[in-house]
Structures are given as structure tokens and as C-alpha cells.
Structure 1
Amino acid sequence: MGKGWKIFLSISFFFLIIILTISILSYRLLNKSLPKTTGSTVLTILNQPVEVYRDEYGVPHIFAGNESDLFRAAGFVAAQDRLWQMDFSRRVANGQLSEIFGEITVDHDKFVRIWGFKRTAEEIVEILSPESRLALNAYADGVNAFIETHTKQLPIEFSLLNYQPEKWKIEDSIAFVRLMGWKLSFGWYTDLVLQELVAKLGEKKAREVFPDFPKDGPFILPASHQHVWAKTRNFINSGLQVQDFLGFGSAHLGSNSWVVSGEKSECGKPLLANDPHLELRAPSVWYEMHLSGGEINVAGVSFPGVPGIVIGHNEYIAWGLTNGMIDDVDFYLEKINPDNASQYLNGSRWQDFEIVTEEIKIKDAEPESLQIQFSRNGPIISDFHPTLKNMDKAVSMRWVGHEASDELLAYLKVQKSKSWDEFTEALRHYKVPAQNFVFAAANGDIGYHLAGGIPLRSRTNGVLPHEGWKTKGQWLGQVPFEKLPNILNPPENYIVAANNKIVDDRYPYYLSNLWEPSSRASRIQQLLSAKEKFSLDDFKAIQTDIVSFHAQTVLPVVVNIMEAVIDSNSSEDLKSIYNLMKDWDGRESPTSIATSIFHTFFLRLTENTLKDEMGDQLFENYIRFGNVPNRVMAALLKKGNSEWFDNVNTPEVETVEDIMKRSLLDAGTQLRGLAGAIITNWAWGEIHTLTMRHPLGRENLLDVIFNIGPFPRGGSSMTLNNSEYRFDLPFQATLGASTRQLVDLCDLNHTLSVITTGQSGQRMSKHYKDQTPLWLEGQYRSLMMGRNEIIETAQEHLTLTPL
């Protein structure tokens, strides 16, 4: 053997040893934090022993002798599986990301500090009910017991970012709930963008591109005010950046829920379905639990970091949620005293701004100070950036979520409810974010109730800004709970809530104009009308349905117009693309080529119709509304020729036919760039994919470790099996069914459930992504409640014992 070959082997062996060493160390580092889930563990905070049984998917069933120990154990067990996710979430809510990420997240923290979730949480602590305080304190004790006993066995993310978690506070749980309220509130964004639409396009054209445009004026603020509203763009852009960082880039987060009575159920009792559409991240936004202790015996999904079950069932009732889409934010123009910039006009007198100074700690940098001014209406958002200060006017914001309320009390009472009356009485305590609650009971009742804080406005609605110094535009309180829309046992024997409009225009109070298109609700109603009796298998098929009612409605209009465009002079390529789309049945399967053509065509049609008038930036902000552009384009197509179809940048006057032909050609060009020149490769699942990203999965190498995917997806925002993509970043799926819940009131011991990833946030856990195959295939797992069966089938059993 030659000398050179020996040297090569020596070097190769040396590098092999290094690679093996790194692999072993990495494996140990990733595995060191896997929790103990069998045997016994001493938990000194307990009064009595607590039993924790986990099923084959790692879902914990917690049995305690009292509610205090139940919530202590729930906090401990949640921290076992999701501690870093919990810590990340509270840092987002408290505006403390920069402490671990550095300067890259300073603007994120500033934006969140203006919203003040932490400040509101501190106010809520002062008004908590005894029941909520007990649950929150017990849960925090459980989380802290885990932190204190596992300082050297923390999840890998803490090591990668080189920090230790701080003690968990009850304010952290509350702040997270308020963060969720912000995520599900769209008025802050839509109101500001609508004002820009009015300013740039005028009232008439703004009406055409904003469904349910307010009927009351004034529609255009005086010219002297326009420069102030232009300065809110920094606030908008910072909010969008935070959304992007959190993984939900659409302006709309929605859900599906429906219930049928025993009259339409094969078993003779109600069936209930729910699938909330939230960001699809790793780990899942939901954590499944079964809690049994004291007066509580409830199962379902919870938010990691918050005690109790959000969506689920007990032995008597089941409930689901969809976003109420309520407009719970208003903006106000504030006059600033020309002689004293620290004052604003309140009626006829000058009043001092309240000033709060926040310190933002930054990793590897000096802290930054943020001064936030408050008028009587709320925080000033127009001085978010230093260049926006020193103006004669400012913009303030009022949000229902800034008012102290005890949502946890509502959930605690819901969990113990046995009837519709007890359930609705519990909802009186619920304020933020406003939700549609869908209800079913073992006694046969089905019902619906909107719950939440709905501003009672002195003006018809709150879409356009108010002059803050005047009485008109001020809130007069909240819509009384007794007046909120609700129904019990409707004659149709079913109820559908899919973010569609809640009531007609005869309802005396303004709720919103932010509704989703009715296509999902219409499809559910269509399917529920197709049979006399339903089973859970039928409900599975409905939840995973990929037929676009929107496409089935719009496509005939498109074809009717395009028939005059496609002729013998059209290219073979154009005719091939058109024919595939024309003959499509609206089923958005991953293998469908026509689905790819339709979505790409509709995007290009939207851009070619609206962008020339709006301009680049306003158009980009506008299409972040999610499904609003879909509603608008459907209306414009139905109308036929409109001045919107004329490209104002050309001397010609374009027609709807011209823009459609151009859009179909553009769609072909875009698809060739995405999937190649061969049309048979344009399957929807090839370009519409899902990767469930971890917050650290943005970085190379870490993405391979933490992210889950990519996977080909069917469906879109317009199908029941929801798979929404951002219009400005087609066609990556970002939102969808974050969990699927199916409940048969004939058998509450065996409900069906699935989440997107797995129970654990620990990368090396077998439960990190073990539910993903089920979720992708439209399958479910059973969530049991019967103690004997749980014990018999448990895969792991841990006893938590006091000293």
C-alpha cells in the first residue's frame, strides 16, 4: 500500500471519528430533555398523588383528587412536552423576543409593546375571579416545578439560543390569550388599509373593492388629515412582519364548525364537528389533554401555557369554536396642542397624554427605550417610528382586548356545564376574541351563541376613522349579552358556522364587515342537505372535502366570457390550458392540473385588474386581506365590464375579455416557471405544498432538524379541507385545519381527534410528528374518557407524588 493511500486513509478515519463524535453528542443533546413518562416522580407542590396515563400518541389523561392538583399536574405535563414553545409564546406576547434573538426582532417587540398584551394581563390579574386565580396559580406552579427540577434537561432550543427559562407567571398565560385575541382580530389591519384605499381611489372605487363598505360617511377625511394616516404604514408593515414571523401571513384566520340534531343523526343524538383554521407550525398550536379531578372531567385541546380545554367535551356537552370575525378595533385622529406637544384635544380642552416607558432588552446589545403615548382612546400608533413624531395630529387605537376581562372563568364554567342554560351563562364572562360557539348536548339540544365584547358604537360602524376629540365615534359600552345572536334547536336540525355573515341587515347592532365568503358555509349546507341521517364517517368526509364551491360558482362566469376570446386564432397552448380549466369540476385534489391553472389564473386576473389603479404597495397590502379579493373579483366578473378592467397605464381601453386573455397567458408563463414546460407536470400538489416550520427552522441545518415537510396538499382557502396560501407568496400553504374534532353525543368516551404534528415539542420524541400522517390522510385517532379503558390501553403511566 502506497504512502499516499495510507495518508488518505488516516485523514478519512480522522474525519470519520469527528463526524461520529459530533453525531453522538448531537444525539445526546437532543435526547437529554425527553421527559420521564413512566414510574413515579416527586412533585412537592401536590396535596395528593396524581396519575398520568398516556395513550399510544402520548396524549395525557390526568386523574387528580382535586382541581388544584389537577391544574398543577397539567402545568407540569404541558411543560414536559412543550416548554420551549410555551416560553417562545410568552416572549412573543410580552414583547421579549429580542432578549433571545437580538436586534432582528426589536421592531417586533416594539409593535407588541404598543398593543400591550402584558400591560393588559397585569390589569386582568387584579380582577380575576377566585376560580381563575386558583387554576392559573396551580398551572404556573406546575410549570415552575418542572423548570426548577430540569435545569440541566431543558429542550434543545434553550441550548441553541444559550438561555434559561424564567419563572412562569400567571400574567404569561393571560398575555398569551390576549395575543391570540390579536391574531384573530382583523379590524386593526383592514381599517387602516381601507383608509388608504379611500384616500388613493376615492369613495366610489373603494366601495367596489371592499365588500360591505360602510354606508355612513364621511368617506374621505379632509386633505389636511391625509398625511397623518399615511404615517400609519409603518405600523401596518410592522404588524405584517410579526405575522410573518409567527407563520400566519393572511389577514384572516377562520374555522369550520357544524352540528346536527338527533333527527339527522344515525345514532339518534347530536353530532358535532370543528376544525379551527390557524397557522400550521411545528409544534402544533394545540396540545391535547384529558383532565379529571374535582368537578372537572373534560377532554379536548388546549393552548400550551394556558390551563383548561378550549375546544372539547365533558360527559354531558360538546362545543366547537369558529372566529366571529368581529370588528373590535377603531382608530381615532387626535389633535395635538400646537403649544404643547404632550397634550391632545379632548372635547373642548387640552389633556395630557399618558406616557408609558418600556425597556426592550436586546441580546448582545444595549437596551432600547420605547415611549408610548396614550389618549383617552388608546395608544398612539402614528409615532411608532421616530420620523413620525412632531406632527400636528396623531392616530390612536381602541381595542376591546385592552379592557380587562376574565376569559378563563368562561372556559372553566363551560367545562363544568351540563346544559344549554349553564353553557350560555358561562359565556357571559367571555370577551376576547369574539367567537362563534357551537353546542351539542347528550340530552339532544343543539345551539349556537356568539360570545365576546362587541363595541356598542355611537356611529353605525367603526370601519373608517373617527375624530377623537368629538363625542361622535366614541364607544357607548358593549352590546348586551342578551342581544348577541344565538339559536337553540333550529327547525332545520343543523347549524353551520364557517366565518360567514352571522345575521342579516335587520340586526340592530354593527358587528363587522370582515366576513369570509359564504362558499365554505354553502358547501357544508349543500352536503348536510344531501342525506337524511349522518354518522361520524360522513362527518369525516365533510371535514376533508376538497370541492371548491367558490370555483364551481365563478368558473361558469369565466367560461361564458372566455368563449368569446378563445377562437381558431388562439395558440394551441392557450387553448389547451383553457380547455383543462373549462372542464374542471372544482375538486382541488393534489393531482389536479386544472386546479393549478384556475388558482394561477385567478391570481393573475386579480393583479391585472386591480394593481394598476392601486399601485404596488397598496395592492400588496390589499391582497393580504385573504379572501376579500376573491369576493371582489367574483362580484366584478358577475357585473361584467367595469372600469376596473381597463389598465390605466396604457392608452387603450381594455375590456374584461382582454384582461382575462392576458391573465390566462400569464398563468401559463407562471406555471412553466414553477413546474416546467410540460403541462402534465402542473399538478396542484407539486406547487401547493406545506412545510410546518419551527420558529428556529428558518436557518439552514436547523430547518432539517425541526421543520416537518414539505408535503403536497390539496384544497385551498375555499375548500372545507382548508389549505390557505398567501396571495403574495403563492402557493405555499400556511393556514389550515389546526385540529379536527368530531364528537358523537351517543359515545362521549370515544370522540375522534387529530392535530397537525404530535403532542411533543421535543424533536427526538416519537410523538414530535406521529399524528402528521393521520392528519395528511384525513384520518383520526380516538380520544377516550372512560378511566378503566384508559388504564387498560395506556402505553405509559406516571405517578406524581407529594412528599
Structure 2
Amino acid sequence: MTAGSRARPARDSELHPDLVSSDVPETRSVAGLTRPVRVLRDRLGIPHLVAERRVDVYRALGWVMAGDRLWQMDLLRRLGAGRVAEVLGALFLPLDAIARTIGCPAAARKAAEHLEGEVADTLAAFADGVSARIAETPLPPEFELLGYRPEPWTVVDAFLIEYFVGFALAMESLEPKLFLARALGQLGFERGSWLYPRPLPPAAADAERLAAYRGLEPAFFEALTALAPPPAGGSNAWAVAPRRAAGGGALVAGDPHLLHTAPSPWYLVHLVAPDLDVAGAAYVGGPLVQVGRNRRGAWSVTNLTADNADLVVERLHPEDPERYACDPGEWAPLAVREETIAVRGDEPARLVVRATRNGPLLDAVATLTGAVAGVPVALRWKPAIAPGHSAAGWLAVNRSRGLDDVLAAATAFDGAPFESNLVYGDADGHLAHLALGAVPRRRGELGLLPALGWRGEGVWEGIGSLGATPWRVDPPEGAVWTANERTGAADQAAGGDGQPFGEHPARARRLRGALLEGSAHTVEAFARLQVDDLDLAARANLPLLQEALTGWETTDPVEATARELLLAWDGRAAVDSGGAALYYVFFYAEWVPALFPEDRCPGLAHRWRIATWGAESVLHAPRSPWFSDPAARAAAIRTCTARAVARLRTLAGDDPTAWRWGDLHRVRFAHALSFAPRFAAGALPAFPARGSPFSLDQERFGAAEPPFGAVVGAGVRMVTDLADPDHFHITLSTGQSGDPASPHFADQMPYWLAGKLFRVTLDAARVEVETEIILAPASGLV
């Protein structure tokens, strides 16, 4: 084959194209290397790094990752540091104010203070590699467009990213705490208690509490979600034992869901060095493979949706607002700190953060943006109180030789800024579903509600380790799974309510059924399951709709045809399904707002995930505070269906047989600077998206009414058959490069859209490379 030419990919199957091609190597010098490192890139641009020393492979990873994703990495660290407005302008001031108010920068610096041993060496080497790339020219074109040069990378920067992601994941509990409590205060206990996913204790009904909740304002959360919707929810991970796998080895699959971005937040890599041979997806900005495999095992993660933060309603002194009620009859001064936020093209902004013993008051964000602050609310967030990191745990998993090593590493995740489910399988056939991280041990029974600070609520009696007690190891059914649902692991560690707002159980039920009904699972079957569009939540609701609609007498032929669509719908959110289009418009654009109107429950109906709990409870109850009997409920269902039909006629025309779910539910990927001509190619066309809020292929809505833009989904999908020690199967939602001009910016997207995976080798000697680079010490080869 001639230099620079590409081989035609050989195919083991249509699902798994092999990665083969060829090119001529070159040599580059990188400061800090002690020995040369080979960088072999396959035709997807995935780097296979081969080094004689582990510290060198991580230094090379920093250099290579920065070469592909430096501006994305810089933007992510700025999100954590509260320095986005400095380069992108005043629009991003709220995000900067949030990061600084909650204490992300201080917590990240604290987490980096006492690193030692392998963790310190690895993170420092990675940072040095990134900084070596920053020192080179040319820089990625984003920096030229925006007119700034990135600062050298530090160990703290990796933690800034981890802490900002951690807070975004914490929104999965914080948002329902605030919006449900406000609705509880406005609706009263009888109606408001229906909104919660579990019964409220009687103590939630007292008048003083409900009055305080009526004063809650969501300015803080509105500011965050307006610019960066919460990136969590929808992740799946599962594994089966050899007796359930056709190949005779454990099978492991995972597809963590995060905010759709171009490029994906995940970066594919293969690292080879003494006592290290790991491949998979690392969250960009760090050196840790969190979805992947080594020679002995494979793993994937989901968000545990554990409750590691409290909202505490405070009472300020009526004559001196710089003091707050700390104990009955006692007032204490607020702690005050000021920060200056640089703003591109404008004067610096002054942020004043006040804090009680429970944490910072969130009104600083409202003050900065001119929004209504409401009653003062403090944030008590575990990562800010006990800063730590997950690096030691992930390094141990990456180098693990089997289940025992992974179990021994579990408590090393206690300091992580968010809690995770880890699904693991090894070459000996062992399986595990571990809960990782730590959760507060709360006093009392009101953990799912905002606390009242002047009553002494919101007190924590320590922090409980999730990893100290393995959740499920080698279960008798030969399968483990997680889909962000409530499991009991966080409750066990918290000694109470540790996960009050877990995800809807529909996806977990779907996984359980699919895994336990089979005994010959394959990589191909698991890849199909990752894009499964069956919505068991919708299927459970359908009988109630169908019962109500069977008696619906209408003379409108469009309504009659639409009714038949819904009566015949099977609960699959397929792209070409008219029944799916009608159902989701009915449920989220009509049924939810009818129950929770904006004038009574501001903002609730727009948060479909939170509103679903109450909306389903009312739908399934023969009698409720909304409907006195089943007949009244049925009449409301018919009214909402007629409104949904009218809405769809406006959106999709008068022929229901031509309605398509994919026309209302589309996914779009765009580079953050795609508005600029240089990056216009980064605005990728919108694609019809299958799936629903509660199917395994969850494409989370960006709005609660059509068009339902899909804003959260699987940034990476992976399946590993441990009967095959030399390969794994994976694809990103976009591609390896962050540059829209690169052929690797979105080259994986067609496979991602089709639900296909690439077969990637772990045998570096067999990688037929597209390009090869030798990274040499700056002082010459040694």
C-alpha cells in the first residue's frame, strides 16, 4: 500500500467494521517525556499510545487530547472556574456566577492540595502534556477567532471540570426539590403531595413550611438551565454472566447520556504501558477511562442520582438583613465574600456572595441578573463541604486485574463530586453493580424537601460511603443493570433517604426483562438494545387513554383517524410512528399543563421529568383532588386529546397517517462557535430521533411542548465481549476531533445514528494505522 493511502475497511459484520488503514510516521518532540511514545491513529483518529513508562503515556495523552480538543477542554475548565464570560461575553455571566457562588473553584483547588503517589504523578503528567501542546503553534482556530491564548494546564483544571459536571448532575435532585416544594406551597398539601414520587411525611404539611415554600423563586436554576440544561439522565449500563452470553464470556454494555455537544464530551483512547493496557472513553479534560475495558475486565457508568445537596430556606433579620436566624431566638452574621468576574467587551462584574452556616445564599445570581430573588435559600453541597476526587479510584479500575481489584478500589471514590453506578464484568465471569461516592447522613425524615434553617433542619450527621458495601456482586440471575433508577444503595449509605428522585423505573424494567429472558446474548443484540425505542412508561399509561378514547364520539374525521392511531399504538417511539407523535403531544403539551397550570405552578409543566411523577399519579388514580371519579378523568383525557390533535394539525398537517414522531423529535449537534463562518460546518443538520424520555434510547426533551428537540443522549456507546481479549466495540455521537474542518469531527455520527458500533483492537501490534507519530523527549531520544 502506498504511503498516505487508506485501506478499504474489512467487515466482520455490517455492525462492526474493522479499523484498518496505513500512513507514514513522523517524529515530534514533547517537553517532559522521559522515553519515546508511539501514537498510532486508526481511521477514526483514535490514538493508540504505546510507552515504556506509565507517566509518559499519560503525558502523551495530554498532548494528543489537547491536539484534538483543546478549545473544548479550555471551555470546560472555564465553566468550572467561572470564567466563561471572560472570553464569550456577558451572556455567560450567570454561569460564571453560579460556579463561583457554589464554590467550584475553591473545592477543585482543595481537592488538588494533598495528591500523592500515582495519582499525583498521573495528573501532573497529563497536565504537562496538555501544556506542552498549548506552548506549540498553531493553536486551534477557536483561540484565533476569540483573540486569546489559553493558560497552561494544571492539575486543578481537571478537577474544575469534574466539579462543574458534579454540580450539573446534582441538579437531578436540586431541581425537583425546589420546583416541587414551590408547587406544594402553592397547591397545598392535599394536591401538592401528589406531585412527589413517594409519599410525603406528615411533617411536610405545617403552615409555616408551606408559606416559606410559596416564596421560593427559581432564578438560580433558570439561569443555569437557560444556558446549559442539566446533562444527566438516560444513561444505561448492564452486564450478563457467561451463561447468558453466546460467546461464553461476560458481556458488558454502557451508554452514558449527557448534553449533546459537538464534539462529544467523550474522547476515545487506547493506552499501553507497563502494567497498563486500557481502552475506551475518557471524559475530555482528564486521563481516566470511565467507559471501556482492559485485558481482564470491562466497565461502564451511570449517574446514581443520589441526593448530595440540600436547599435550606433561611430567615434574615427584619431590621438587619446581614444577619440570619441560626437558632431559636439567636441571630448570626452572614459571611460575605466578593469576586470580580471579567467580561469580554464590558466592565468587570462584581459578585457578592453571602453565606450562612449551611452554605452560600443563591440570591447572588438573581442579584447579578436582575431576577426576583425570592426567600433566601442556602445551598449545602457535599463536594464543597468535603472536597475530593475520583482519580485514585479510576486509575485503580483502569489497571485492575479482576473483580477483587475493583472491589478494593470502591471506597477510593468516596471523595468524588458526584455519585455513580459502576457496572463491571471480568474475564473470569464475575459481575458487579457497585454504587460509588458518598452521601450525607441526614437528621430527620424531610430530606426530599428544602430544609428550614431557623428550625435547625438541614443538619448532616456525617457522610456515608457507598463503596464500603458492594451493592450487587455475582447475583444468582446472572445479570446486573442500572438506568438511574432508585436502587436502595444510596438509602443504605445515607441511613435514610439517599436517592429520593431517582429516574423513572421504566428503563430499568425494560433492561431487566430483556436480559433475563435471554441466554445467548451477543454484541450485536446488546447494540440493538442500546437503541431500543420501547417506552414502558407510555405502554403502562395507554390502557387508561384507550379506555377513555374508546367512548369518544367525534364527527371530525381527523380526530377519528387520530384516535385510531393512539388506540393502535404499541408504545414504541419509532421515528415514523404517528401514534408516538400524538401520545407525547397529548401527555406533555396538554395533559401535564392541564393539571399544573402556569398560574398555579409556575415553571413546573415545562420540566417534564419532574411533572411526570404527578401527572402519572393522577392519570392512574380513579379519584384524585383533580377528578372526582373515573368519568371526569376520562372527559379530561378526551379534551386533552382533542387539543393535541388540533396542535398536531397545525404542526404536521390534516392527515394523521402522515404524522411522524421524528418530525417533532429531532437531534442537532453544533459546535459552540458555529455562528462564525470559520465554524459554520460545525452546525450539523438536524436528524429525526427515535426514542422517548423513558426508552433505553432516551433522547431527552429540550422542551415540554413540540417540537421536542432532543438535547440529551448517549455521547458514547460501548459493548465488550470478554470472551474476546483483543477487541471492544464502541462509537461516539460525533467524532474524535473538535475542529469542524477535520474529517474526524463527525465521521462516527452515521454509525451512531444507525445504532452501529466500531470494532476496535486492543492489540497495538495489529493496528494498521492511518497516521503514526513518535513523540520524543524534547532533549532527544534517551
Q: Which TM-score applies when normalising by structure 1?
A: 0.88
In structure 1, the partner of 2:296 is 316
Cα distance between partner residues in 1 of 2:586 and 2:373 = 44
Q: Structure 1 unaligned runs (5+)? A: 1-35, 648-652
Number of equivalences: 747
Alignment pair present for 1:93 and 2:80:
yes
What displacement does 1:77 show?
0.2
Code of the residue aligned with 2:165 in structure 1: it is M
In structure 2, the partner of 1:295 is 275
Cα distance between partner residues in 1 of 2:374 and 2:220 = 18
CA displacement 1:292-340 (0-9 Å, x = unmatched): 2233211110112112211111111111111111111112233445665
Contact 2:249 2:722 survives alignment (8 Å): yes
In structure 2, the partner of 1:21 is none
Alignment pair present for 1:424 and 2:401:
no
Cα distance between partner residues in 2 of 1:346 and 1:189 = 25
Cα distance between partner residues in 1 of 2:514 and 2:729 = 20
Cα distance between partner residues in 2 of 1:608 and 1:69 = 57
Match 1:284 to one of 264, 269, 278: 264
Code of the residue aligned with 2:501 in structure 1: it is L
Contact 1:118 1:172 survives alignment (8 Å): no
Code of the residue aligned with 1:546 in structure 2: it is D
What displacement does 1:703 show?
7.3
Contact 2:411 2:468 survives alignment (8 Å): no
Cα distance between partner residues in 2 of 1:752 and 1:390 = 50
Match 2:426 to one of 397, 419, 441: 441
In structure 1, the partner of 2:184 is 198
In structure 1, the partner of 2:499 is 512
CA displacement 1:164-202 (0-9 Å, x = unmatched): 212212211101001111121122222111220121011
Q: SS where residue 686 of structure 2 aligns?
A: strand
In structure 2, the partner of 1:330 is 310
In structure 2, the partner of 1:164 is 149
What displacement does 1:429 show?
1.8
In structure 2, the partner of 1:728 is 704
Contact 2:234 2:700 survives alignment (8 Å): no
In structure 2, the partner of 1:458 is 443
Alignment pair present for 1:415 and 2:391:
no
Cα distance between partner residues in 2 of 1:177 and 1:459 = 30
Match 1:753 to one of 718, 727, 730: 730
Q: 1:120 to 1:232 in 2, by over 3 A?
A: farther
In structure 2, the partner of 1:663 is 640
Q: 1:542 to 1:344 in 2, by over 3 A?
A: same
Cα distance between partner residues in 1 of 2:208 and 2:116 = 47
Q: 1:598 to 1:218 in 2, by over 3 A?
A: closer
CA displacement 1:441-491 (0-9 Å, x = unmatched): 111110111111211011124222223355543101112446656111111
Contact 2:366 2:373 survives alignment (8 Å): no
In structure 2, the partner of 1:27 is none
In structure 1, the partner of 2:363 is 382
Code of the residue aligned with 1:610 in structure 2: it is L
Contact 2:48 2:271 survives alignment (8 Å): yes
Cα distance between partner residues in 2 of 1:254 and 1:38 = 41
Contact 1:516 1:628 survives alignment (8 Å): no
Cα distance between partner residues in 1 of 2:656 and 2:313 = 53
Q: 1:68 to 1:191 in 2, by over 3 A?
A: same
Contact 1:103 1:362 survives alignment (8 Å): yes
Cα distance between partner residues in 2 of 1:394 and 1:588 = 42
Cα distance between partner residues in 1 of 2:262 and 2:274 = 33
CA displacement 1:45-69 (0-9 Å, x = unmatched): 1111011001110000111111221
CA displacement 1:563-621 (0-9 Å, x = unmatched): 12x23x54222111000111112222211111111111212342353233x527x3434
Query: How do 1:320-719 residues align onto structure 2 when only pairs under 5 Å count?
Result: 320-337=300-317, 341-347=321-327, 350-386=331-367, 394-402=376-384, 403-430=386-413, 431-481=416-466, 484=469, 486-503=471-488, 508-564=495-551, 566-567=552-553, 569-612=554-597, 615=599, 618-624=601-607, 626-645=608-627, 655-697=632-674, 699=675, 704-719=680-695
Code of the residue aligned with 1:741 in structure 2: it is M
Q: Alignment RMSD, CA only?
A: 2.6
In structure 1, the partner of 2:9 is none
CA displacement 1:6-47 (0-9 Å, x = unmatched): xxxxxxxxxxxxxxxxxxxxxxxxxxxxxx994110112111
Alignment pair present for 1:239 and 2:219:
no
Q: 1:40 to 1:645 in 2, by over 3 A?
A: farther
What displacement does 1:680 show?
3.4
What displacement does 1:713 show?
1.5
In structure 2, the partner of 1:210 is 196
Cα distance between partner residues in 2 of 1:539 and 1:577 = 34
Contact 1:691 1:733 survives alignment (8 Å): yes
CA displacement 1:729-775 (0-9 Å, x = unmatched): 53111111111110111113211000100000011111000000000
Q: 1:424 to 1:362 in 2, by over 3 A?
A: same
Cα distance between partner residues in 1 of 2:752 and 2:354 = 46
Code of the residue aligned with 1:692 in structure 2: it is F
Q: 1:273 to 1:68 in 2, by over 3 A?
A: same
Q: 1:239 to 1:123 in 2, by over 3 A?
A: same
Code of the residue aligned with 1:710 in structure 2: it is A
Code of the residue aligned with 2:93 in structure 1: it is V
CA displacement 1:539-586 (0-9 Å, x = unmatched): 12211211222222211221012212x23x542221110001111122
Contact 2:605 2:704 survives alignment (8 Å): no
Contact 2:490 2:497 survives alignment (8 Å): no
Contact 1:72 1:141 survives alignment (8 Å): yes
What displacement does 1:722 show?
1.8
Cα distance between partner residues in 1 of 2:275 and 2:532 = 38
Q: 1:138 to 1:339 in 2, by over 3 A?
A: same
Cα distance between partner residues in 2 of 1:485 and 1:254 = 23
Q: 1:700 to 1:123 in 2, by over 3 A?
A: closer
Q: 1:701 to 1:663 in 2, by over 3 A?
A: farther
Q: 1:598 to 1:701 in 2, by over 3 A?
A: farther
Alignment pair present for 1:262 and 2:242:
yes
In structure 2, the partner of 1:10 is none
Cα distance between partner residues in 1 of 2:209 and 2:572 = 49
Single out whichever of 49-58 and 666-675 deviates more from structure 2: 666-675
Cα distance between partner residues in 2 of 1:75 and 1:174 = 15
Match 2:49 to one of 39, 57, 62: 62
Single out whichever of 575-584 and 457-466 deviates more from structure 2: 457-466
Alignment pair present for 1:222 and 2:208:
yes
Code of the residue aligned with 1:765 in structure 2: it is S
Contact 2:354 2:361 survives alignment (8 Å): yes
Contact 2:297 2:424 survives alignment (8 Å): yes
Code of the residue aligned with 1:414 in structure 2: it is V
Q: SS where residue 709 of structure 1 aligns?
A: coil
Contact 1:642 1:656 survives alignment (8 Å): no
CA displacement 1:267-301 (0-9 Å, x = unmatched): 22210111111111111110001112233211110
Contact 1:752 1:783 survives alignment (8 Å): yes
Q: 1:95 to 1:597 in 2, by over 3 A?
A: same
Query: How do 1:105-184 residues align onto structure 2 when only pairs under 5 Å count?
Result: 105-150=92-137, 153-184=138-169
In structure 2, the partner of 1:275 is 255
Q: Which TM-score applies when normalising by structure 2?
A: 0.90
Q: State percent identity of aligned pairs.
A: 27
Q: SS where residue 182 of structure 2 aligns?
A: helix
Contact 2:40 2:48 survives alignment (8 Å): yes
